[in-house]
Structure 1
Amino acid sequence: MISGFAVVLPTLLARFSNETTSDFWPATILSLVLCATLCSTARLSDMYGGYPIFMLAVLWFCIWCVVAGFSTSLILLDICRAMQGLAIAAYTPSSFALFGCIYPTGPRRNMVLGIYGASSPLGFFVGIYVSAALPSDSWSWYFWIAAIIGFVALIAAYLSVPSDRADRSSLNLTMDWWGALTITSGLILVAYALAASANAPHAWQTAGILAPFLIGLACLACAVFIELRLADCPLLPRKFFTPKSVKPLMIACVSFYGSFGTWLFTATNHLRLAYGVTGVQLAAWFAPLAVGGFLCAVVGSSILHITSPTFVLLISGIAWVAAPLLLALGDPSMGYWPFVFPAMICTTLGIDMTYTIANVVLSSVSPLQWQGLAGAVNSYTASDSSDDDEERRTRGQQHNRAAGETSTHVQSDLGEGMVLKFEIFVVKVPLLSLHGIQFKKVDGGTWQYKNMAQTILNELKL
């Protein structure tokens, strides 16, 4: 729903958008809703059990995927994406609540969490591959295939997953509604302001960006006060962060996941521009992220009971430092295997092992009543730092065209939109009888803009 949608989005924008619509919401609303509601859905999972919340969430996801396939406007698509984000925010912590109840702490739970973590890189790669393989006029099947997969998961869970609701009656958890309201509102408003300001000129002088940001900060300040002073059963209790490993682990995860979003964007463009790789070949070059991610997650979780998580994280950190260096130092003339392939292996060692270790550690140090919260905290750092960053980088914003402005839309061989907007001015050099042209980037990637500007200059033969 996140990785593949970046490929489908240009087709949807070409079909539904016009000069007065913005593509900001379809690109970012899923991650905004997902990140903002994780704590609330985690509390519901810890209160009522992971099983009923998981079943309702998957059913909700299937319904809105089906509806999204019949979308006739960006407004309906935005609503569907928001509801899909709410469903993902519900079944992610509910899965952790189920794991924490069914499996005792030890190697077996570690293995289950490893398999759970392994599904992330596989799903990421499959989403991109399926969306890229679909014809542009069959975009509805991107959502309908997701609905079919979700329905199969729903039936499988109904037939095989035991209910854990009876184990929750003695936990005495209640819903912190004021905390949920202020946290959700604050995170949505702040995230919206930060995302909308990415490419907007004079962003922080615009009331439409500054006002939501300030109101969001005020809501988050109120949430902190409520959680620390007023709430009898806060959504984010301070005792959750009491184990000495939790705080440094969260800081490391934010850094890892955030840099992954940047790496994915820059690596994709680097392979296109420097290596000339596009289409299915580009997807194949990223295949080690799926295969290696699955293996790293399973192997990493299976050895945690015989080795220190700190040691595994150290290996993961070294690999993550090596991944961008290999791409930066690699010679494109040498092809895929000497530098790109090792970079992909280091990337999956760095990201997927970290995600799996964080899942295992947070689940192990958290009691039963906070198992859903443990899943929400790790998922929040991953979703907010990586997925939303990638969506903000791949989107473009519509704006009113000024007189004399030229707007150019570029599409890659993958079918993925490289929304590139720039202005070309004819200028006169002061004090000299010379004229020239001036380029000004309005929106889009720097590399695409530089490449397009150089192509235009070469064609003009000035």
Structure 2
Amino acid sequence: MSAVDEVSVAGGVRGVEPGPPTVMTGRLRLVLVVLLVAQFMLAVDFSILNVALPVIGKGLGFSLANLQWIATSFALCAAGFTLFFGRVADLFGRRRLFLAGLALLGISSLVGGLATSPELLLIARVAQGLATAAVTPAGLSLLTTAFPEGPLRDRALGLNGALMSAGFTTGAILGGVLTDLLSWRWSFFINVPVALAVLIIAPSVIKESKPETRPKLDIPGAITVTAGLLALVFGMTQAGEHGWTSPTALISLALGVLLLILFYVVEKHSSSPLVPVSVLKRRTVAWGNIAGLIAFVTETSLVFLMTLYLQEVLGYSALSAGLSFGVLGIGTIIGGSLAAKVIGRIGTKSTLITGGLLQAVATAALFGLGDDRSWMWLLLAGTFLGGIGNMLVIVGFMVTATSGLPDSEQGMATGLATMTQQIGITMGTPIMSAIATGHIAGRTTSGAVLDGVGLAVLINAAIVLAGTLLTALFLRSDRRRA
């Protein structure tokens, strides 16, 4: 080939396979903003009601035993139906499902804010959970198909991960502020104008994305995986509420595991599987999702442990405790903003390892927390650095788990990743709560609480380190560089 044949033509090189684009156009920026706003709002919903639960219970007449269902009903649907809706998005149109889910979220939030009885509020929370299960994988698959694999997708996923983690933290802070200054009802109402704005703008900005030929929906697979996830999540919430020896928790967890095994068997013999077994066997999908599961289990449960420490040991109010997590939120934003550059420089596997080690060290340092407020500097420093490390892992997990798959399977891949995220958020707190409260064993002194929190922190750090070692051993290195 002559030198003339190597001349750049229309931004590429004749005779040479062009690499993925690295410059984000104005239209792609607008698409990114619309999708990120929706994902941020969904992340806020996971935690915005946590602080307000006692107030809601008194206002609507929830018994103390039934108060947990305000959170559990949402978590069950958000985690249980995610994989199903991720595949539905592939088959019937991602934009269509994204918009339908947003409309349901806006309506259910309005109903929840206006609720005058426990029954109506729980119906609204179930609808919010279903909306989240539809919008999250649809939005993520729209993002991964709009941005080609490479630096642009890494950057988009980095911003998405940062805003989702920041949204979880923001929800805890915003819920306390709205409840104290206005009413718990505004924790619902705040979704309505945001959902409406996205519904107005999105149709003219986001293109429809779906396969040319519509395959059959795997009904047996959808039933077994959804039922299995519902049983698993319900068992986890019951374990957190009544302990890991609770018969209801153990039966639900066992049933969930059996149904998920049955789902795997169904998929092996299905002509049009919900999740092809070949995809589940991909190292990037399998180990990427394992890394993501550990990241969400550990960091969200660490927020619970630090909340327990701040309120029960140091005596801070719920609002003050929530505000202190703003430092963690800043760390996650920084981590998400840096993640794409780090991945471009050292690759996704090295990014997962680097982030995991940083999170493990920062978490282990929190074992040194003492019983007076002079130790706040360690908590702030540890959560800040841990937030950066955790976000490097989360973005690395999203890039790994969605790479190397065709656009026709992106809804399924992002559905798997979203399911991993939501199960991690759901199961982390019951596990760490059981460890901490089991060690406290009925003692109510601040010293006993500090001991329980310290043990749980060490186990949390050990889980992060174990996940990092598994990634180092079993995930193949990628050669992609910026």
TM superposition score normalised by structure 1: 0.78
* 1:83 equivalent in alignment to 2:115: no
Matched ranges for 1:366-405 at <5 A: 366-390=405-429
Distance 1:186 1:243 in 2: 22
**Of residues 192, 215, 221 in structure 1, which corresponds to 2:234?**
192
User: CA offset at residue 305 of structure 1?
Assistant: 2.5
CA distance in 1: counterparts of 2:400 and 2:428, whole angstroms: 25
How far apart, CA to CA, are the structure 1 residues paired with 2:175 and 2:246? 36
Indicate conservation of the 8 Å contact 1:35/1:383, yes or no.
yes
Root-mean-square deviation (CA, aligned residues, Å) is 3.0
1:19 Cα deviation after fit: 5.1
For residues 390-444 of structure 1, the C-alpha deviation after alignment (integer angstroms, 9 at most, x for no partner) is 379889xxxxxxxxxxxxxxxxxxxxxxxxxxxxxxxxxxxxxxxxxxxxxxx99
1:150 aligns with 2:190: no
Identify the residue that residue 205 of structure 2 maps to in structure 1: 160
> Kindly tell me: are residues 75 and 449 of structure 1, through their superposed partners in 2, closer, same or farther at Cα, counting changes over 3 Å?
farther
Q: Judging changes above 3 Å, is the alpha-carbon distance between structure 1 residues 348 and 194 closer, same or farther for their aligned structure 2 residues?
A: closer
SS in 2 for 1:344: helix
State the distance in 1 between where 2:282 and 2:177 align: 46
Question: Do the aligned partners of 2:237 and 2:430 also contact (CA within 8 Å) in 1?
Answer: no
Partner-residue secondary structure (3-state), 2:316: coil
8 A Cα contact 2:75 2:233, kept in partner: no
Letter in 2 for 1:185: A
User: Which one of the candidate residues 386, 403, 406 is aligned to 1:364?
Assistant: 403
Separation of aligned partners in 1, 2:137 and 2:244: 38
Structure 1 residues 357 and 234 mapped into 2: Cα distance closer, same or farther (>3 Å)? same
SS in 2 for 1:305: helix
Does residue 171 of structure 2 align to residue 127 of structure 1? Answer: yes
Out of 38, 48, 56, the position equivalent to 2:92 is 48
Give the Å deviation of 1:212.
Answer: 4.7
Q: How many residues align?
A: 402
Residues 110-160 of structure 1: per-residue CA shift (max 9 Å, x gap): 111112112112212221222111245711111001222222222231232
Contact preservation (8 Å) 1:26, 1:78: yes
Q: Give the Cα–Cα distance (whole angstroms) in 1 for the partners of residues 218 and 148 of structure 2.
A: 28
2:109–2:189: 8 Å Cα contact kept in structure 1? yes
Match of 1:339 in 2: 378
Counterparts of 1:445 and 1:153 in 2: how far apart (Å)?
47
| Superposition deviation, residue 66 in structure 1 | 0.4
Summarize the Cα distance change of 1:263–1:201 in structure 2 as closer, same or farther, 3 Å threshold.
closer
Q: Which deviates further from its counterpart, 82-91 or 209-218?
A: 209-218
Q: Which residue of 1 aligns with 2:216?
A: 174
Alignment of 1:96-245 (within 5 A): 96-135=140-179, 138-165=183-210, 168-170=211-213, 172-200=214-242, 204-205=246-247, 212-213=252-253, 215-229=255-269, 231-245=270-284
> Which has the larger displacement, 386-395 or 314-323?
386-395
Asked if the contact 2:51/2:318 (under 8 Å) is kept, the reply is no
Contact map agreement 1:275 1:335 (CA 8 A) in 2: no
Compared with structure 1, are the counterparts of its residues 262 and 361 closer, same or farther at alpha carbon in structure 2 (3 Å cutoff)? Answer: same
1:262 is displaced (CA, Å) by 2.6
Q: Could you tell me which residue of structure 2 aligns to residue 258 of structure 1?
A: 297
More strand by share: 1
Q: In structure 1, how many angstroms separate the alpha carbons of the residues matched to 2:376 and 2:300?
A: 23
- Tell whether the 8 Å contact from 2:237 to 2:426 is kept in structure 1 after alignment: no
C-alpha separation between the residues in 1 aligned to 2:405 and 2:195? 29
- Counterpart of 1:315, as a letter, is T
C-alpha distance after superposition, 1:96-116 (max 9, x if no partner): 221232221121121111121
CA contact (8 A) 1:37 1:184 kept: yes
How far is the alpha carbon of 1:317 from its aligned partner? 1.2
**Which residue in 2 is equivalent to 1:57?**
101
Q: Secondary structure of the equivalent of 1:134?
A: helix
Q: Does 1:94 align with 2:138?
A: yes
Tell me the residue number matched to 2:444. Answer: 450
Given the superposition, is the C-alpha separation of residues 379 and 144 from structure 1 closer, same or farther in structure 2, using an over 3 Å criterion?
Answer: same
Q: Which of 280-289 and 22-31 deviates more?
A: 280-289
Shift of 1:202: 9.4
Deviations 1:25-48 (A, max 9, x none): 212111111111111101111112
**Whole-Å separation in 2 of the counterparts to 1:450 and 1:234:** 52
Aligned counterpart, 2:12: none
Structure 1 match to 2:389: 350
8 Å contact kept, 1:2–1:387: no
Identical residues among aligned pairs (%): 22
Structure 2: how far apart are the matches of 1:139 and 1:28? 18
Please give the secondary structure, in 2, of the residue aligned with 1:7: coil
Task: Work out whether 1:304 is the aligned partner of 2:349.
Answer: no
Q: Residues 159 and 444 of structure 1: is their aligned pair in 2 closer, same or farther, counting only changes over 3 Å?
A: farther
Once the two structures are superposed, what CA deviation does each residue of 1:175-214 show, in whole Å capped at 9, x if it has no partner? 1111111211122123223422444379554xx5566555
Q: Distance in 2 between matches of 1:183 and 1:85?
A: 17
Asked if 1:73 corresponds to 2:123, the answer is: no
Larger mean CA deviation between 323-332 and 445-454 belongs to 445-454
- Structure 1's 282 and 445: CA in aligned 2 closer, same or farther, altered over 3 A? farther
Q: Name the CA distance, whole Å, in 2 between partners of 1:70 and 1:154.
A: 22
> Rg: which structure is higher?
1
Check 1:446–1:69 CA distance in 2 against 1; reply closer, same or farther (3 A cut): farther
Q: Which has the higher contact order (CA 8 A, sep 6+)?
A: 1
For residue 112 of structure 2, give the secondary structure of its aligned residue in structure 1: helix
Amino acid at match of 2:149: T
In 2 relative to 1, CA 71–452 (structure 1 residues): closer, same or farther, beyond 3 Å?
Answer: farther
Note the alpha carbon deviations across 1:211-243, whole angstroms, 9 max, x for none.
6555545533432221112x1121121221343
